């Protein structure tokens, strides 16, 4: 499962409640994503896999080459957009929260 959220520890006081998403969608409820939600699912996946070695390889970046920016990020995004749309149509796409994590099956 891909998650675009990053966890970080905070040195703030222990009485501060953890931040919660602005959306009322539950993190405990797994929902299936239809084709109408494929772009939101793609946003999550593109961000989560932006530094993934396989994704970087697919767009022609090796090792410590420049980060995915501009046209290379668009290519990365488009690849994931088509994969996500195909899974929405012929597979299963699930999410929790406000597309805070996405899984393709």
What's the rounded Cα separation, in Å, for the pair 59 and 76? 7
Whether 56 is covered by a domain: the verdict is: yes
What are the residue ranges in the chain where pLDDT is below 50?
5-22
Residue 93 near residue 32, CB atoms below 8 Å: yes
Q: What is the pLDDT of residue 103?
A: 97
Residue 58 near residue 72, CB atoms below 8 Å: no
Whether 18 is covered by a domain: the verdict is: no
Task: Give alpha helix (H) positions in the chain.
Answer: 38-48, 53-58, 70-90
How would you classify residue 5: left for phi > 0, otherwise alpha for psi between -120 and 50, otherwise beta?
Answer: beta
Q: Please tell me the total count of domains within the chain.
A: 1
Whether 12 is covered by a domain: the verdict is: no
Q: What is the pLDDT of the chain when averaged over all its residues?
A: 80
Structural domain containing residue 43? 26-104
Whether 46 is covered by a domain: the verdict is: yes
């Amino acid at each position: 499962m891909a998650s675009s959220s990053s966890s970080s520890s905070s040195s703030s006081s222990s009485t501060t409640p953890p931040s919660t998403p602005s959306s009322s969608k539950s993190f405990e409820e797994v929902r299936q994503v239809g084709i109408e939600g494929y772009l939101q699912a793609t946003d999550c996946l593109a961000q989560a896999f932006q530094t993934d070695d396989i994704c970087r390889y697919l767009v022609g970046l090796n090792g410590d080459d420049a980060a995915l920016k501009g046209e290379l990020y668009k290519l990365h995004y488009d690849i994931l957009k088509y994969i996500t749309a195909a899974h929405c149509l012929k597979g299963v796409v699930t999410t929790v929260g406000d597309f805070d994590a996405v899984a393709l099956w």
